[in-house]
Amino acid sequence: MSLIIASQLDADFNQGLSQHPIAPTLIDVAEDEPWAAAAQADLLLIRPSPSWRQPSIQRPPAWPGRLKWVYSASAGIDFYPQWLLDAPLVTCGRGVASDEIADYVIAAIYAHAKNLEAITARSRAQWVNVPLGRVSGTTIGIVGLGAIGQAVAKRGLALGAQVVGLRRTGAQSGISGLEHVGDIDTLVSRADHIIIAVPATPQTRHLFNAELLAKVKPGAHIINVARGSVIDQDALIQALDGEGGPGFATLDVTDPEPLPEGHPLYTHPRVRLTPHVSSNHTLVRHRLLDKVRDDISRFARGEAPSDIVDPARGY
């Protein structure tokens, strides 16, 4: 079959796509209006660029044009306008960066538990016995057991932690040793490290609000690798400043991104803020290429590609 692909990705990536056995045709995408390629392409491959967040962006009159398929390079589709989901088929890059994000989570857990920088001796006077925190024997709670959550669970279990998880559907993950809990209140009350790995939807917006944060185990470490909107940031700051609430937060995502200059999360002593880098996306681009090429093969055979987005669920 012939396939015309309009891609927002870089030239090297597109070169790899052009070498697919079906020999697709690659066409350029206007960076300021990537959706305009719908008039010429069968497949629109997109990334979360600023153009999709223009305040004046409106649904194009002819959308989705001749498109058969929209493919988001990112796992989340909350960055894009709602009308994007009106394309006949929308898929995403779910799972491509799950190992990298899981490694970030484990690094954050160890950085908080051991904090080697804080106890590094730089003089004889600093040569003192300082008790370190533990990872083995602690409880890691995972909210969202998709590809990222499962990758975190496997690592946590290998490190000797107890791992509890919550899945929206209630389905079992099949990971030996992972304990499934029935509600989020139970999870946050038990976990020493709380990992947030759910998609951004209207249902998950401010899931971690003041009421839920009040139920968090005292001193717990909250790690958000999902989306900033899942946490009520004002409520988080109040909880961190109060007594008996969470003790620390590692945030790779915020709402908005980046935060405005002077926002208190930049300098809060109980917050580690990183600029949405946990996916390490430039170093896993080859995995995305393999995934897209495999999905193109499926599509050419008349089969469904992987990770189809459900418009009703929004992920």
Residues with catalytic roles:
227, 257, 276
Edge-to-edge order in the sheet of strand 90-92 = 25-27, 4-7, 43-46, 69-72, 90-92
Q: Is the dihedral of CA 296, 45, 259, 314 positive or negative?
A: negative
SS3 142: strand
Q: CA 38 to CA 35: how far, in whole Å?
A: 6
Of 109, 160, 163, the closest CA to residue 278 belongs to 109
Q: What are φ and ψ of residue 223, in 5° steps? A: -125, 120
Q: CA 265 to CA 234: how far, in whole Å?
A: 9
Q: CA 299 to CA 306: how far, in whole Å?
A: 10
Cβ-proximal residues to 42 (8 Å cutoff; 6+ apart), any chain: 3, 4, 5, 66, 67, 68, 69
Q: CA 251 to CA 106: how far, in whole Å?
A: 13
* C-beta of residue 106 within 8 angstroms of C-beta of residue 152: yes
